[in-house]
Amino acid sequence: MRRVAITGLGVIAAPGRTACEFWKCLIEGRSAIGALESVDCSGLRFQNGAEVRGYSHQHYFEDRRADFMDRFAQFAVIAAREAVTEAGIEWTPELRENTAIVTGSCVGGQSTEDLGFVEVYKMGHNRVHPLTIPKTMSNAGASHISMEFGITGPSFTISTACSSAAHAIGQAFWMVRSGMVDLALTGGSEAPFSFGILKAWEAMRVVSPDTCRPFSRDRHGMILGEGAGILVIEPLEAAQARGARIHAELVGFGMSADACHITQPSAEGAARAMRGALRDAAIGPEEIGYINAHGTATAANDPTETAAIRSVFGAHANKLAVSSTKSMHGHALGAAAALEAVAAILAVREGMLPPTANFRMADPECDLDVIPNRARPAQVEYALSNSFAFGGLNAVLAFKKV
């Protein structure tokens, strides 16, 4: 089996419109959560989100091309462009055929769909826009990335709620590792801000009225976010041979199902996914120095994740640094794991661990070292990124410093 290197990173999210801006915001411990601008929240119990403020497609796409793309697909292409440029990929017809695209998305272009439904149900119009279907489909991100670069290899989208991008990156990782493809663009994108979707989140009563405070005793729930993160991955040997900059090595992927409850998380299921990632990477728990937690700041997730980490790591859990960067970029659903993978990769590359922002009070049920509020310099050999979805579908990625 081949070793797999990460040679390109691309991000657009509330904290920044490039991986570099995103990282700078994270290590400054600045939360990009604020009052939502793109949706009128006056009829909602919450007003805040982590939004790409002032976004206009015109910086990135010609109007006619943008007509065909929901915001979530635009984000996917923007992040992919950055990752590919940064990786210095030189396309050949052979490489295009041997490149995979695996993206994650939870809700796809639901805000486009929402608009169409307003037309027929509320406005009483007799027709919706003919591009509603191709803009709404969850695979639109992958499709537009393939057209952007002329990539003709295996391309698909995975939808596993909040784990979507982790499952996507894991699949792409295994495809490169096994020799099925020689390059992959993988990650996730999401743009969930439309009134209908926000109403549905409101009804679940898991969204915080102010901000996201993971692992803090006074946490009040999650804050939704949007954006995209895309990685370029390739065999380590090939990356070294072409002299590419290697950000980190992707070494393990584990997944599991809770088989328990459609929304309540299970510590056992989460623990099995973490153990799976360690086994896949052939490393011991004591080798992990940092975990980018799922850390949604809901009442249920944070204590359950703490219990899962304690069960996997035993005494080593007291030496582990764990943070939830959702406190800064929000919960970007199907893009969350991609943003968090970028955070974990840059943490091992830079020797700097991003904090859990907005942290105020220790919670005995979340008694881990959660790197409260301030980034911490630390050389870490291995890091995990946890994702635990509604529906009990868990995915964990492992990264190694190069």
**Binding residues for another protein (CB under 8 A):** 45, 203-205, 209, 220-221, 261-264, 299-300
**Dihedrals φ, ψ of 202, to 5°?**
-60, -40
Nearer to another protein, 133 or 299 (CB): 299
Distance from C-alpha of 190 to C-alpha of 74, rounded to nearest angstrom: 10
Least Å distance, CB 376 to another protein, is 33
Question: Which one is catalytic: 41, 220, 331, 366?
Answer: 331
Considering the complex, state which of residue 365 and residue 381 has its C-beta at the smaller distance from another protein.
365
**What are 141's two structure tokens?**
């991100």
Catalytic residue among 41, 162, 212, 366: 162
- Least CB distance to another protein at residue 360 (A): 18
Active site residue 212: no
Q: Which is nearer to another protein, 46 or 290 (CB)?
A: 46
Residue with smaller CB distance to another protein, 46 or 75? 46
Residues 6 or more apart from 222 whose CB is under 8 A from it? 206, 207, 208, 212, 296, 297, 298, 326, 330, 331
The answer for residues whose C-beta is within 8 angstroms of residue 304's C-beta and 6 or more apart is: 265, 266, 267, 270
- The tokens describing 145, both together, are 């990335």
Whose Cβ is closer to another protein: residue 265's or residue 295's?
265
Catalytic-residue membership of 294: yes
Selecting among 144, 294, 329, 366, the annotated active-site residue is 294
Cβ closer to another protein: 45 or 319?
Answer: 45
Q: Give the nearest distance from C-beta 203 to another protein in angstroms.
A: 6
Task: Supply the minimum distance, in Å, between the C-beta of residue 263 and another protein.
Answer: 5
DSSP output for 206-263: -B-SS---TTBTT---B-BB-EEEEEEEEEHHHHHHTT----EEEEEEEEEE--S-SS
Closest contact distance (angstroms) between CB of 85 and another protein is 44
Helical (H) or strand (E) element with 12: strand 4-13
**329 flagged as catalytic:** no
Structure tokens at 280: 């896949």
Token pair belonging to 23: 């990282």
State in angstroms the smallest separation of the CB of 4 from another protein.
38
Concatenated DSSP letters of 129-190: -TTHHHHH-TTHHHHHHHHHHT--S-EEEE--GGGHHHHHHHHHHHHHHHTS-SEEEEEEEE
Catalytic residues: 162, 294, 331
